[in-house]
Amino acid sequence: MKLEWMGEHRALIEKIIKYGNAYSNTYKQQRSYGTDITFSAAQIQTLEYILEAEEKEEKMSEMAARLGVSRSTFSKNVKHLTEKGLLEKYHLSGNRKDIYVKPSAKGREVYEQYTRFVYKLCFEEIFQYADKISEEDKDNFIRILDLFADVLLWYGKKEQEPRKLIKIDEQGKPDSPM
Q: Could you tell me if residue 79 is inside a domain?
A: yes
Q: Could you tell me if residue 164 is inside a domain?
A: no
Helix (H) or strand (E) run with residue 115 in it: helix 105-118
Contact 58, 51 (CB under 8 A): no
* Among the ranges given (5-19, 58-72, 162-176), the one the predictor scored with the smallest mean pLDDT: 162-176
**Contacts of residue 114, Cβ cutoff 8 Å, sequence gap at least 6:** 33, 34, 35, 44
**Domain count within the chain:** 1
Give the tens place of pLDDT for each residue, 147-168.
Answer: 988 888 787 776 666 667 777 7
- pLDDT at 61 (0 to 100): 83
Is a pLDDT exceeding 80 seen at residue 8?
Answer: yes
Q: Could you tell me if residue 168 is inside a domain?
A: no
Q: Could you tell me if residue 126 is inside a domain?
A: yes
- pLDDT at 176 (0 to 100): 58
- Under DSSP, the state recorded for 121 is I
The CATH code of the domain that includes 132 is 1.10.10.10
Q: Could you tell me if residue 174 is inside a domain?
A: no
Q: Could you tell me if residue 169 is inside a domain?
A: no
- pLDDT at 3 (0 to 100): 73
Is a pLDDT exceeding 70 seen at residue 37?
Answer: yes
Give the tens place of pLDDT for each residue, 94-150.
Answer: 777 777 889 999 999 999 999 999 999 999 999 999 999 999 999 999 999 999 888
Domain coverage including residue 24: 10-159
- pLDDT at 117 (0 to 100): 96
Give the tens place of pLDDT for each residue, 46-78.
Answer: 999 999 888 887 878 888 888 888 889 999 999
Q: Could you tell me if residue 3 is inside a domain?
A: no
pTM, 2 dp: 0.75
